[in-house]
Chains A and B, each alone.
Chain A
């Protein structure tokens, strides 16, 4: 038994040491690693190849969004900020910039104002990004395990109320955060949000439906389904319709949408 435990501990140390090593870094070309504040075009040209290589990084998407905004591509800016938030939902600068763009473009469809408690919950949920949730799950798993240890080895002559309460409390929290982690992970892989990149018409049906609304670039939509060259989307204000697939870019590309 001792040997097994020793081996396990050694394995854990080896893995942790391996995780501590620096990961593969994708450096920007050029002598200086610092991007220019003023020349957003040059910065964009230097950052865009990283995305094409398949790098997914919240700060990278954020910087791209800032560059696009300053270059007048509001749709791309919103798309990149949403991608940054998809990776790190607690990215404060990306969130603020989205709010800022929304304030600059009052003609964009507005989301209905949520009740305070809903806002509170959404903010807390956003604060716990995917990795923060994972850490919370580990911490709660540790606390639940310790509580179970306490319960297992609690003196039989004493009342077991305290360890049972601890196990229940930490267990429920562990289940809750595990569920949230699963949901967030699923959303990270299958985020249904998309951004309108060029002016498009929202129609009642795919192809030749009645026009409901003209959508401006930077409008955020939620993809419900896709059919050929058309996509069924829902606007933040709840209006639903069909839009040309080429006009929108999903936050998570290469997804298979339900037909």
Chain B
């Protein structure tokens, strides 16, 4: 168990380390495996990583038979987008320069490095030094080495203090269109031993804008013919010029200082670039309506992010402009007005390799305001094509978009609509206009409220009765019995007032139901059994006697021939009233009936008034 835990922890740590580790590759190479005594040995140590390498040059290895002279470093970054994923590769190269001291075969020991807590090692290399050079001169040399003479092999006999060095400004093209970027290069041409060049100043002239196109770190010489002579030249700088006016424009002049080294001291010389001009042609007439100043060689396409969205989601329309041109000079076209959508201002995302080349993404965000199916218009992008000398216009494909309802909240969309309307809304053209009467003035409104209130009252009463029957069943039985008694009392009274013989069965039925509800006595019992039950329930004797008399009276009236006429209906009603009053006053205590008058005294009942 413990081992498993440790393994898990170690695995997690390893994974974390792997995720955060810097992936570094180290290699060491010799530019030439065989050199002459007068050549240099160049040992290159190359480090590449997916992260930026920030390190000093490692110590130069001691190589027997060679004297160490200098180390040069250079860095490079390569960025790429593959399937929408950005990746970059950083490279750092250290070039160690050695001078051979004698002939023979020598071993160049490898490097031992520690980068990011990890050790790296390169294998040992071998080099052979011969009497004379067997290899051609390297195409690039480094003038940073104060002991190195790039012209040693070319002009072995020349004087170091004589010669010619000029700074030239060379436009790539002598004639460009208005807005078309022009690239100008500043080269130093020399047949002297030159150690370094320092840029001091750059004088500008009206009519253009500019940006740095290329700025090399080293002076990389190449052989050229100039004025019928053989020269070495090195690129100092390249600039991109954006003409803003037509006509003949003078290019910026560069001023710098060249340093030569003598035997005992350095010599400096100021140098100005030669004046250079370009002719700027005006753009031809007939600019398209959507032309925003783009000049170059472009390819354009348009992409909508979705064809189905829910209300509240945004759709992105991206116009992709790729190629070479004045990316920094033209603006984005506006999206055509589209109803039912809120359209944002264009946002620009540039992926440029240099100021002139690359891809620009122009993004428009569209927010639907309503549900439905809509056709979104295409975006139009116009530019002046420098290769054909004509205006070109790109028109994308319209896109059909289905906007569906998103969620409950989207029903309230437009609640905070803040956009000012662009025009007066039109007439509604209703066929008829009814007089406005609020719902609160309608009968049904108050009737619905009354029904709700009534239902509450009914529900409350039912709930109260339920609670009573649950919490105090005896009290509930009394309540319901009294209700029954009152009901039959009313019916019997009504029958008596009509002098109807129905009085007796109603009175008898009411009494039996009351007793059934209140004391749980069966309604099917005869009079004698009923009275016995009442005795057992310990009802007041006087009350039992009175009830007996009344029940007998009822039976006489109902079953004896001529009984109805023989009995006094009003007297019977009076007896019933006294009986009901006595029963109503009867209360229960400890499971036994308890009259508010004393049950034992026998005089608790109200006296019959004749």
Rounded to whole Å, the gap between the CB of A137 and the closest CB of chain B is 8
Is A242 in the interface zone, CB < 8 Å from B?
A: no
Return the CB mask of A6-44 against B: 1 if under 8 Å, else 0.
001001100110010001111110000111010000010
In contact, A135 and B439 (Cβ under 8 angstroms): yes
In contact, B429 and A130 (Cβ under 8 angstroms): no
In contact, B449 and A134 (Cβ under 8 angstroms): no
Q: Which residues of A contact B454 (CB under 8 A)?
A: 8
Quick check: which of B62-70, B419-427, B546-554 contacts chain A, the rest being far away? B419-427
Return the CB mask of B458-489 against A: 1 if under 8 Å, else 0.
11101100110010000000000000000000
In contact, A148 and B432 (Cβ under 8 angstroms): no
Q: Which residues of B contact A63 (CB under 8 A)?
A: 427-430
Q: Which residues of A contact B432 (CB under 8 A)?
A: 25-28, 33
Is A62 in the interface zone, CB < 8 Å from B?
A: yes
Rounded to whole Å, the gap between the CB of A235 and the closest CB of chain B is 21
Contact of A43 among B427, B435, B456 (CB under 8 A): B427
Is B566 in the interface zone, CB < 8 Å from A?
A: no
Q: Which residues of B contact A152 (CB under 8 A)?
A: 459-460, 462-463
- B interface residue count range (under 10 / 10 to 19 / 20 to 34 / 35 or more): 35 or more
In the complex the two chains form, what is the Cα distance from A135 to B452 in whole Å?
Answer: 14
Quick check: which of A96-104, A193-201, A226-234, A244-252 contacts chain B, the rest being far away? A96-104
Contact of A12 among B428, B447, B453, B459 (CB under 8 A): B447
Contact of B439 among A1, A26, A131 (CB under 8 A): A131
In contact, B425 and A66 (Cβ under 8 angstroms): yes
In contact, A97 and B445 (Cβ under 8 angstroms): no
In contact, A60 and B433 (Cβ under 8 angstroms): yes
Rounded to whole Å, the gap between the CB of B444 and the closest CB of chain A is 5
In the complex the two chains form, what is the Cα distance from A101 to B427 in whole Å?
Answer: 15
Contact of A103 among B420, B431, B442, B470 (CB under 8 A): B420
Task: Give the residue name and chain of the A residue nearest to B452 (CB).
Answer: A145
Task: Give the residue name and chain of the B residue nearest to A124 (CB).
Answer: B415
Is A218 in the interface zone, CB < 8 Å from B?
A: no
User: Contacts A57-B433, A63-B427 known; A131 to B456 CB distance under 8 Å?
Assistant: no
Q: Which residues of A contact B433 (CB under 8 A)?
A: 26, 50, 55, 57, 59-60
In the complex the two chains form, what is the Cα distance from A45 to B448 in whole Å?
Answer: 41
Rounded to whole Å, the gap between the CB of A156 and the closest CB of chain B is 7
In contact, A54 and B439 (Cβ under 8 angstroms): no
User: Contacts A57-B436, A124-B415, A152-B463 known; A100 to B424 CB distance under 8 Å?
Assistant: yes
Rounded to whole Å, the gap between the CB of A21 and the closest CB of chain B is 12
Is B455 in the interface zone, CB < 8 Å from A?
A: yes
Is A87 in the interface zone, CB < 8 Å from B?
A: yes
Is B3 in the interface zone, CB < 8 Å from A?
A: no
Q: Which residues of B contact A54 (CB under 8 A)?
A: 435
In the complex the two chains form, what is the Cα distance from A69 to B558 in whole Å?
Answer: 92
Q: Which residues of A contact B445 (CB under 8 A)?
A: 134, 138
In contact, B415 and A127 (Cβ under 8 angstroms): yes
In contact, A181 and B440 (Cβ under 8 angstroms): yes
In contact, A185 and B436 (Cβ under 8 angstroms): no
Q: Which residues of B contact A141 (CB under 8 A)?
A: 448-449, 452
In the complex the two chains form, what is the Cα distance from A140 to B580 in whole Å?
Answer: 48
Is A110 in the interface zone, CB < 8 Å from B?
A: no
In contact, B434 and A25 (Cβ under 8 angstroms): yes
Q: Which residues of B contact A24 (CB under 8 A)?
A: 434-435
Contact of A100 among B423, B428, B436, B444 (CB under 8 A): B423
In the complex the two chains form, what is the Cα distance from A157 to B518 in whole Å?
Answer: 28
In contact, A100 and B447 (Cβ under 8 angstroms): no
Rounded to whole Å, the gap between the CB of A119 and the closest CB of chain B is 7
User: Contacts A138-B448, A138-B449 known; A153 to B427 CB distance under 8 Å?
Assistant: no
Q: Which residues of B contact A119 (CB under 8 A)?
A: 416
In the complex the two chains form, what is the Cα distance from A223 to B442 in whole Å?
Answer: 30
Q: Which residues of B contact A134 (CB under 8 A)?
A: 438-440, 445
Q: Which residues of A contact B458 (CB under 8 A)?
A: 1
Is A56 in the interface zone, CB < 8 Å from B?
A: yes
Is B451 in the interface zone, CB < 8 Å from A?
A: yes
In contact, A69 and B424 (Cβ under 8 angstroms): yes
Task: Give the residue name and chain of the B residue nearest to A27 (CB).
Answer: B432
User: Contacts A8-B454, A67-B427, A141-B452 known; A58 to B436 CB distance under 8 Å?
Assistant: yes
Is B20 in the interface zone, CB < 8 Å from A?
A: no
User: Contacts A27-B432, A35-B429, A59-B430 known; A99 to B421 CB distance under 8 Å?
Assistant: yes
In the complex the two chains form, what is the Cα distance from A99 to B65 in whole Å?
Answer: 90
Rounded to whole Å, the gap between the CB of A7 and the closest CB of chain B is 11
Return the CB mask of A59-79 against B: 1 if under 8 Å, else 0.
110110011011000000000
- List the 3 closest pairs (A to B, CB-CB), nearest first: A134-B439, A152-B463, A57-B433
Q: 19 additional contacts, CB 8 Å, given A130-B438, A153-B463?
A: A1-B458, A19-B443, A25-B432, A26-B432, A26-B433, A50-B433, A57-B436, A62-B428, A69-B424, A70-B424, A96-B421, A100-B424, A119-B416, A120-B416, A124-B415, A130-B440, A134-B439, A142-B452, A153-B459
Q: Can you give 25 contacting A-B residue pairs, CB < 8 Å?
A: A12-B444, A12-B451, A23-B435, A24-B434, A26-B432, A26-B434, A26-B435, A34-B431, A55-B434, A59-B428, A59-B430, A60-B430, A63-B427, A66-B425, A93-B425, A96-B421, A97-B424, A97-B425, A99-B421, A124-B415, A145-B452, A149-B459, A152-B462, A153-B466, A188-B438
